[in-house]
Amino acid sequence: MKAFPENLRNETLSRGLAAYGIAPTALTYAPVGFGDYHWNVTGDDGRDWFVTVSDLEHKAHCGADAATAGTGLRRAMDTALTLRARDGLGFVVAPVAATDGSSVVPLGERYALAVFPHVTGRTGEFGERLGDADRDRVLGLLARLHGSTPPVTTPATTLEPAGLNGIHAALDDLTGTWSGGPYAEPARRLLAAHAMVLRARLADFAALADRVRRDGAPLVVTHGEPHPGNLIQGADGYLLVDWDTVGLALPERDLSLFADDPAALAHYTGLTGRAPDAAALALYRLRWSLLDVAEFTDWFRAPHEGTEDAQVAWDGFAGTLEELADRDRGAVIDSN
């Protein structure tokens, strides 16, 4: 995030770091990523850390409210720790434990702190396309992850994305005026312009979910968002970060990012003996888009300001709705 978290002081962050035995001599805010807040920290022993603060009031994939999101985030971080320590999955960039063994330290009721070792390497970017060799390396990591025994802390996932009811509520509230902030009314108008397409995609999703449930394929440990923006290319290969989305799901949850690449899917089959299911791939690709629509719709219906982060959210909202419309136009072309 570009902006600092609301009502979180450096003194509060320093007290949280003390739970890890870290006495910071330098706290540098890192305006990277979208969703969480990050700092580069140097301790008085000279060690460098990467620190993440999560806003539990806006962590719907971990829980519906701050309390349940805190529990969900802790389970996710515990899972990452187990995957690295127990299963030897060295590509898992897991948090370090606090002095009491906790993977996450609360900073009041709203925020939670996780501390990670500083990792050196080249960070990828969301939307970046990997070359064939790098793609296959990442698929190799996913195959190892999917073949691991799920830690008991692994969060469950649902096929329906968090906030799906919020999309339905917003579609039923297009005739009034939205007044939460500068993007509220433009968001209502944009959603109204795409309402027919969005309702069709919601129906598609429901049909795909019913089909996938009937198939009853086994669930595995998935990362949830193994795109290049969550990859660091280090000296010993790729590392995978941002494990707050880890969860039990079909492997297609991760593979949907490669769904338009038959060679990638064939490589995964060669590694695991399992051929990805086309319906499950389509489900999770659509789920990704609907999850974004849900998050951004909730953002713009709620009180907000015209910040740089809000502009990023607006661009993502408009782009996702246009992508869904393009997908609809492509379906019409294919049917003719």
One domain for residues 74 and 163: no
User: Which of 73, 92, 118 is the C-terminal boundary of a domain?
Assistant: 118
| C-beta separation of 8 from 22 below 8 A | no
Query: Which of 91, 118, 145 is the last residue before a domain boundary?
Result: 118
Q: Which are the contacts of 236, defined by CB distance < 8 A and separation ≥ 6?
A: 90
Residues 101 and 139 in one domain: no
- Residue 332 — pLDDT band, cuts 50, 70, 90? very low
pLDDT, residue 1, reads 66
101 and 192 share one domain: no
Dihedral angle over CA of 130, 257, 298, 6, nearest 10: -40
How sure is the predictor about 334, in pLDDT bands with cuts at 50, 70 and 90? Answer: very low
Q: Are 41 and 180 in the same domain?
A: no
Identify which has the larger pLDDT, 150 or 129: 150
* pLDDT of amino acid 34: 78
Do 45 and 101 lie in one domain? The reply is yes
Question: pLDDT at residue 300 above 50?
Answer: yes
Of 94, 118, 142, which residue is a domain's last? 118
Tell me how far apart the alpha carbons of residues 62 and 54 are, in angstroms, rounded to a whole number. 11
Q: Contact 21/96 with Cβ under 8 angstroms?
A: no
Number of domains composing the chain: 2
Domain assignment present for 123: no
CATH label of the domain that carries residue 51: 3.30.200.20
User: pTM higher than 0.85, yes or no?
Assistant: yes
Residue 327 sits in which domain range? 132-331
Q: What is the pLDDT of residue 3?
A: 78
pLDDT digits (tens, 9 = 90+) for 196-240: 999 999 999 999 999 999 998 999 999 999 999 999 998 889 999
Percent of the chain with pLDDT over 70: 97
| Residue 125 belongs to some domain of the structure | no
Of 62, 60, 5, 16, give the one whose Cα is nearest residue 38.
5
| pLDDT score for 198 | 96
Assess if residue 124 is contained within a domain. Answer: no
Mean pLDDT of 70-85: 97
Query: Which residue is associated with the tokens 């941002």?
Result: 242
Question: Model confidence over 275-292: pLDDT tens digits?
Answer: 999 999 999 999 999 999
Distance separating alpha carbons of residues 292 and 46, to the nearest angstrom: 39
DSSP letter (8 states) at residue 32: -
Q: Are residues 75 and 100 in the same domain?
A: yes
Residues 114 and 137 in one domain: no
CATH number at residue 208: 3.90.1200.10
* Average pLDDT estimate for 29-36: 84
Q: How far is CA 219 from the centre of its chain?
A: 19
